[in-house]
Structure 1
Amino acid sequence: MYKDIKVISFDADDTLWVNETYFREAEGKFAKLLSKYETENKIDQELFKTEIKNLSLYGYGVKGFVLSMVESALELSNNKIPQDKIEAILNIGKEMLDKPIELLEGVEEVLQSLQGKYKLILATKGDLLDQERKLEKSNLLQYFHHIEVMSDKKPKDYKKLIKHLDIKPSELLMIGNSLKSDVLPLVKVGASAIHVPFHTTWAHEEVSNDQESTTEYKTVINIKEVLTLF
């Protein structure tokens, strides 16, 4: 099935290491800070709306998330939130940026096995400085021929990546946890994709059942299963 593949691209967050879990923890801390102004459910909804509104301004990542928390706090409190609460929000962000890197099971085994047989690249989206920091801390840099930190992961972004790699779409395989970002756009441009679900998915990355059922891709429960497909 993958006989034409020359380049295997890996997503980073929640494919190679834990990430979304830390955002859920941060949202819980934020809701507690704002509990005197609104219910937890309403705070979560308002923060999500603000995040989506701000994506085109700040992009993906912790820094944009922190700015959205501050904006939401001001709105939910009618600009009455005290300074120490703003400081606490900033500290939530700093704690997120300082989290240790927790590799997911089987990741290094897969990279070791595929290295040398294929050109391995990392294709992730988010804040450049933060992603570079995480990659450095992960000790996985040695496995990758090329690192691409993308502002988004839409078909046009992958077309640009394929052109940069000087390969045909059929020669690229993407492995990632997000159907919306790591699977569906790849299939759309004629590349292959393997979906490795993570137990927590950001609402913005969810897709409809219709989108799932009309697309051909492989799903594995653990990234180690990828090795059985070649």
Structure 2
Amino acid sequence: MIELVGLDADDTLWHNEPLYTRRRERFHDLLARYEPEGVLDDRLYEVELRNLQHFGYGVKGFVLSMIETAIEITGGRLESADVRTIIDWGRDMLASPTELLDGVGEALEALGKQLPMILITKGDLLDQQSKLARSGLGHHFKGIEIVSEKDARVYTNVMARYGVPPEGFVMVGNSLRSDILPAIEAGAHAVYVPYEMSWIHERV
């Protein structure tokens, strides 16, 4: 019997990946004079992956990775104005409105009448807290868990913290890599809610 529902946030409750996709497109335009088309995505992803252990997930790590990628691609010739442009993109992303997916408010209202819910999201603490505050959804949740990574150990710890056995917990999210497979590995249930696009790192 399900006792507690865990919900992902980014691209499950509100739109997130489109912000990154738009900035990647502008990053292409910014560096088009330095790098052949089709190469930049791979280079940026390599740097993002390398930096995850240092900067974690979220806008700040993404911005630092864009700057580092640009420096590498230009051989250190990146102009200061271009660095400023990338930093400004990051500020814009952090200040962007939290746009809910259609029907999310109504769905949480209905689900909350049946079962307690917690939010489990990964990323930068301040950014995730800010998005949650702007979303207006915080009152639906019994607890908020902002973690640096989502793996079986994290889900096991969360279930223990709320006193729920694995068979009594279900995780709902859009990422097979972060929301579904590790929750199942921890012995819990999981419900996959696909989103229209995903970062390559979240694909399996």
Q: TM-score, normalised by structure 2?
A: 0.98
- Superposed, 1:92-107 pairs within 5 Å as 92-107=89-104
Output the amino acid matched with 2:13: L
**Does 2:202 align with 1:194?**
no
Please say if 1:128 is aligned against 2:120: no
Most deviating of 109-118 and 12-21: 109-118
Specify the code of the residue in structure 1 equivalent to 2:98.
I
After superposition, the C-alpha distances for 1:97-151 in whole angstroms (9 at most, x for unaligned) are: 1111110012111110111321110000000000000000000011011000011
Q: Which amino acid aligns with 2:76?
A: N
Paired residues, number: 204
Give me the whole-angstrom Cα distance separating, in 2, the residues matched to 1:35 and 1:202. 22
What secondary structure sits across from 2:121 in the alignment? strand
- Alignment partners' CA distance in 1, 2:144 and 2:171: 13
Match of 1:48 in 2: 45
How big is the alpha-carbon RMSD for the aligned residues of Structure 1 and Structure 2?
A: 0.8
Inter-partner Cα distance in structure 1 for 2:37 and 2:93:
20
Could you tell me whether the CA contact under 8 Å between 1:7 and 1:120 is conserved in 2?
yes
Partner of 1:75: 72
Match of 1:147 among 134, 144, 148: 144
- Percent identity (aligned): 43
Give the match for residue 174 of structure 2. Answer: 177
Q: 1:165 maps to which residue?
A: 162
Q: Deviations over 1:66-98 (max 9, x none)?
A: 000010010000000110000001011111111
The answer to which of 59-68 and 154-163 deviates more is: 154-163
**DSSP-derived class of the 1:149 partner:** strand
Contact 1:32 1:40 in 2 (8 A): no
Query: What amino acid sits opposite 1:39 in the alignment?
Result: P
Q: Please tell me the residue identity of whatever aligns with 1:21.
A: P
Moved more, 159-168 or 138-147: 159-168
For 1:73 and 1:147, the matched residues in 2 are separated by 36
Aligned partner (choices 107, 110, 122) of residue 113 of structure 1: 110
Q: Distance in 2 between matches of 1:151 and 1:40?
A: 33
Cα distance between partner residues in 2 of 1:65 and 1:92: 10
Gaps of 5+ in 1: 208-230
